[in-house]
Amino acid sequence: MKVELQSIAHFTSYLPKACGIATYSVALKKTIKDRLPDLKDFVIAIDDQKDAYRYSTSVKYNFHDRDIDGYKKAAEVINQSDAQLVDVQHEFGLYGSKVNPTTLGQDDGKNFLEFMRALKKPAVTTLHMVYENPPENHRQVVREICDRSYKVVVLAEVAKDFLVRDYGISPEMVDVIPHGAPNVPKYSTTFFKEMMGFSRDDFIISSFGLVRPKKGYEYLVEAMRDVVAKYPKAKLLIIGRAHPQRSPEYYQMLKDKVREYKLTKNVKFINKFVNYTDLLNYLMATNIFVAPFLVMSQVSSGSLIYAMAAGRACIATPFDYAREALADRRGIIVPPEDSEELSKAILHLIDHPVARHRMQNLAYSYARKQTWSKVAKQYIDLFNRVVNDKSISKAEIISSLSK
């Protein structure tokens, strides 16, 4: 007899925390509920500040990311609930540690394993970060996360390739479900430019996300010197507030560069964590979106797929996700830390509107295949496979690991 998904717990960061995965989780939860309105669900939220956020009533329990007892309590809350499974959104930085290519293997987010070891419900874990060729300490942590998960989800094929090749994870264990994208009709930029306070003649270049080092925005600002010299009506929008867990010096450095280059009329800082509606309006006003990131080991990017879903021409450095998403002429890849190549790519797209529009169409078609509704259906199908799995061998393994 087939069992229907009736109750689920979400373990994640959650709005109003200023965090890309919090935004992702809210969108995923909403679209799952849209498809399954009778589904019972609740959220266990991870905080990154001493004073807890003012969450919605969806959040049943929340705790600070460095509170070891909080991880155990979170597992207890879920274990005692009627949730059939747990949707876990995982990125190492969420769980009380800073893990990046320079600290890989030193502090691998072992707090999170306290939760997984205490959990007795089957977990479907989405890995938003997967590093290529990791050191052994990090590899072991990721392998344990996978071992304690009923299924693992990644957002791009390249991430699955890494897990199979570099971590020894069985390919049958890993599902690829792409990052969700907004369902946006194709519109020209003119209406949205005027609505957002710009002139219809302005050529809008944008990028968005929490502002921090490694985003490469300094090279984008430098590139604007050549762009503005040829097209004085070009404007760059840097959309997003300074990252709350990073020093504010980087944001100030960008502002100083803008003044130094005499670009104050052409570079605008939208210094806030924009809501979903405003973000889409800014993207719809955009002609070219740029992701000049300096860290190449990035296997997902909500900002890039959102820009593609808005039907915008995209330029990015060759980080893992961009190389996959912008393949087959869906965008332009430029070297990192190279303002000259960045300005050349921007100018090429301005100078060649036919090529730009062709690229926009290709990007839009790619993103249409992964709108949030379609992504939610893939998750629901996966969750239903888990609750209907008659083979208890995996469940027995996870249960024995928890003892």
Residues 102 and 223 in one domain: no
What's the token pair of residue 340?
């000259």
14/26 Cα distance (integer angstroms): 7
Could you tell me where the beta strands, DSSP code E, fall in 103-228? 123-127, 151-154, 174-176, 203-208
Residues 300 and 390 in one domain: no
Residues 273 and 340 in one domain: yes
CATH number reported for the structural domain that contains residue 94 in this entry: 3.40.50.2000
**What local confidence, expressed as pLDDT, does residue 284 receive?**
96
Domain that includes residue 53, residue range: 7-180+371-396
Residues 248 and 382 in one domain: no
Asked, for residue 127, whether it belongs to a domain, the answer is yes
Asked, for residue 224, whether it belongs to a domain, the answer is yes
Could you tell me where the beta strands, DSSP code E, fall in 215-271? 234-239, 267-270
**What local confidence, expressed as pLDDT, does residue 245 receive?**
64
**What local confidence, expressed as pLDDT, does residue 247 receive?**
63
Residues 38 and 171 in one domain: yes
What's the token pair of residue 135?
């050191």
Asked, for residue 2, whether it belongs to a domain, the answer is no
Residues 263 and 389 in one domain: no
Asked, for residue 402, whether it belongs to a domain, the answer is no
Residues 132 and 219 in one domain: no
Residues 248 and 114 in one domain: no
Q: Strand 85-90's sheet: what is its strand order?
A: 59-64, 40-47, 7-12, 85-90, 123-127, 151-154, 174-176
Can you give the length of the chain in residues? 403
Asked, for residue 1, whether it belongs to a domain, the answer is no
**What local confidence, expressed as pLDDT, does residue 110 receive?**
83
Asked, for residue 387, whether it belongs to a domain, the answer is yes
- Closest among 56, 20, 23 to 41, alpha carbons compared: 56
Residues 246 and 301 in one domain: yes
Residues 355 and 384 in one domain: no
64/42 Cα distance (integer angstroms): 18
Write the CB contacts of 380 (distance below 8 Å, at least 6 apart in sequence).
Answer: 5, 32, 35, 36
Asked, for residue 401, whether it belongs to a domain, the answer is no
* Residues 341/311, Cβ–Cβ less than 8 Å: no
Give per-10-residue mean pLDDT for the chain (403 aa): 90 94 97 97 94 94 95 98 97 82 75 95 97 92 96 98 97 97 91 94 95 94 98 97 76 96 97 91 97 95 97 97 98 98 98 97 97 98 90 48 47
Asked, for residue 185, whether it belongs to a domain, the answer is no
If residue 22 lies in a helix (H) or strand (E), which one and from where to where? helix 20-35
321/240 Cα distance (integer angstroms): 21
Residues 170 and 151 in one domain: yes
**What local confidence, expressed as pLDDT, does residue 325 receive?**
98
* Residues 342/221, Cβ–Cβ less than 8 Å: no
Q: How far apart are the first and last CA of the chain?
A: 30
Residues 102 and 162 in one domain: yes
245/198 Cα distance (integer angstroms): 32
pTM above 0.85, yes or no: yes
**What local confidence, expressed as pLDDT, does residue 397 receive?**
47
Q: How many domains does the chain have?
A: 2
